[in-house]
Structure 1
């Protein structure tokens, strides 16, 4: 049996535009007709509705005359999404998986070879904490600290493994979390997320990603009186301040300003 896989349709509307829900139902009906003609069965058990917004309007949609089930949280392309798109459950799950991977590494390998342990960590644990962070970048300090704590746990256990015993933080040979990062040549996960943001931004600017950046910001090769070449809509809410465009452009512009200041001083 064949199935049509990974198909999404969506629409947005205000409470005064509920008539748009009919457009979405028409789209569902059109897909149903196409799938029947193509002899590809739609998997009803994996079809669901997720409404986004503070107080979303709950509308019943139907697939082949059966109501489509409504979910509060869904997994999509490796992300766990909810109505608020806050990714808190996504990060709790990722942290749990990364911690279990670290536990498994130290349980399965008796080696005290730092290079091997780092390779295992980077291969089996850290990817849980770095998948799609351009999209799911954590926005609250509690989550940020919880993510960083995973790597701190790993480096602490490496320190114990190297010493052959548990070291108390009062012992002379104890190394702080920041010192351990230097010892094992690791960056903070927050710094790595910022690096991924900038790399994505560069690819976006160079047209290597199929997204029109003009929908989010404009760029001019010639610097303006503001000292940089970017223009974008300033944020008015906390959520929009943490949106990719704002958090990256603010960082890029600040870095550019510092370089210009350094150049003027020199």
Structure 2
């Protein structure tokens, strides 16, 4: 790793350049809305200044709809999105006296599930309490369908042709991995976030992955590490799909056989 003091100085220099740029273009920065999020237990928590004013330090910050905390745990984000999803379910319940299967699936997929899944490749939960909290929201939602409230959760999902949120996150991880490894994103060196296993004696497909070393839960459970087992179990027929849509179709067919 590089020298943290040098990295902090670089950040301050970047802030200084931003200030100069705003002056050149006659723009004004609202310093009261600018904050600093220090990430990591060993972070020296250097103070940063903009226009000679020290920036306020915070424990969490929302960026592009995802709440990031100083310890990189996702419980705060998950609490926020489950509250939003439950509020949406409340509005749906108030708006419709009778909700049949077709109406529920259309409403749930359009207005509720996207809240629970947006950006999960970044914040996918690894503590059971967080996984349970998310699933509890979908569990409650499926009881809204007329005639299904007395069935078991798994039966309700089957009737509605839905899967658990945990299963959908794993499917999404596999799709994202396929996109990165096959060059779907036109981003230089993005493939380097995954480590290919170069041991040719291993059985299985041609794009097997290896885990990177991890000493913390966030590192252990980020996408390139948590997806390794599920990805390596895929057959070559799925991995060699010629397009994203073809991969999804092959993947769904494979998952329906193994689950």
Q: Verify same fold: TM over 0.5.
A: yes
**Alpha-carbon shift at residue 219 of structure 1 (Å):** 4.4
Aligned mate of 2:172, from 196, 202, 205? 196
**Which residues of structure 2 form unaligned runs of 5+?**
239-259
Q: 2:189 maps to which residue? A: 212
Q: In the alignment, does 2:96 pair up with 1:117?
A: no
**Alpha-carbon shift at residue 118 of structure 1 (Å):** 1.8
Q: 1:185 maps to which residue? A: 161
Q: 1:234 maps to which residue? A: 212
SS at structure 2 position matched to 1:18 = helix
Cα distance in structure 2, aligned partners of 1:155 and 1:180: 7
Cα distance in structure 2, aligned partners of 1:26 and 1:43: 19
SS at structure 1 position matched to 2:67 = strand
Larger C-alpha radius of gyration, 1 or 2?
A: 1
Q: 2:228 maps to which residue? A: 249
Q: Which of 209-218 and 88-97 deviates more?
A: 209-218
Runs of 4 or more consecutive aligned structure 1 residues displaced over 4 Å after TM superposition: none
Cα distance in structure 2, aligned partners of 1:35 and 1:59: 24
Aligned mate of 1:142, from 101, 111, 129? 129
**Alpha-carbon shift at residue 128 of structure 1 (Å):** 1.0
Cα distance in structure 2, aligned partners of 1:34 and 1:110: 56
| Count of matched residue positions in the alignment of Structure 1 and Structure 2 | 234
Q: In the alignment, does 2:128 pair up with 1:128?
A: no
Q: Structure 1-normalised TM-score? A: 0.80
**Alpha-carbon shift at residue 233 of structure 1 (Å):** 4.2
**Alpha-carbon shift at residue 44 of structure 1 (Å):** 1.6
Cα distance in structure 1, aligned partners of 2:210 and 2:30: 41
Report the RMSD for the aligned CA atoms in angstroms.
2.5
